[in-house]
Amino acid sequence: MPAKLEVITGPMFSGKSAELIRLLNRATYARKKILVIKPSIDHRSGENRIAERAIKNGKSAVVEDFPAFSIGTLEEFWHLVNKNDFDVLAIDEAQFFTQPWFVSVDFIAAVQELLDKHSQEDFRIIIAGLDMTAQMEPFGPMPQLLAMADEVTKLTAVCFNCGATARYTQILGGTGEEIQVGDLDLYEARCRKCHVKNKT
């Protein structure tokens, strides 16, 4: 099988990390060698894991997790990739691989380089991330990764306001900066009707 890029996307609370972990568990059962990477600025579940989270009693709680490496630079990315032997590379919260921490084009080029290098092998890159910011704008490298993908899984959530299908992330406060790491304290899933831009 040739190399394959799979992208999982959707708003917050749509189950992106849960779907990523499901695929990684399947790869584990198939005895694949797995490398999981996440951005170091996402510290919600700790430094050494990605996590499926669920809302219980009005709070966000970890349901299942999977070991991961946190990175903050492209050099750290290549260090991990070059020193590990793997068939599956998983990258969670890929929208954060953008300025000021990363240059999106460099991250995209790294993904393409790995796909080219392993083009004739049974090799998978699975990427999960938000496709849009809370202002309903394309988020970091995700648009290009979606265009490059061999397979796209686009998930939806449930609108916190009315219960309809939600495709958007609503920010409830914060600093006004585009990149703010948060959970239920800062974000909700919203449908198009209930979403409000520039809400701070």
Active site residues: 93
Helix (H, G, I), strand (E, B) or coil at 79: helix
For residue 152, the tally of other CB atoms under 10 A from its CB is 14
Per-residue CA distances from 31 to 15, 22, 34, 52, 190 (Å): 24, 14, 9, 22, 39
Both tokens of 112, joined, read 């393409």
Q: Which among 107, 114, 108 is positioned nearest to 88, based on CA atoms?
A: 114
Amino acid (one-letter) located at 104: S
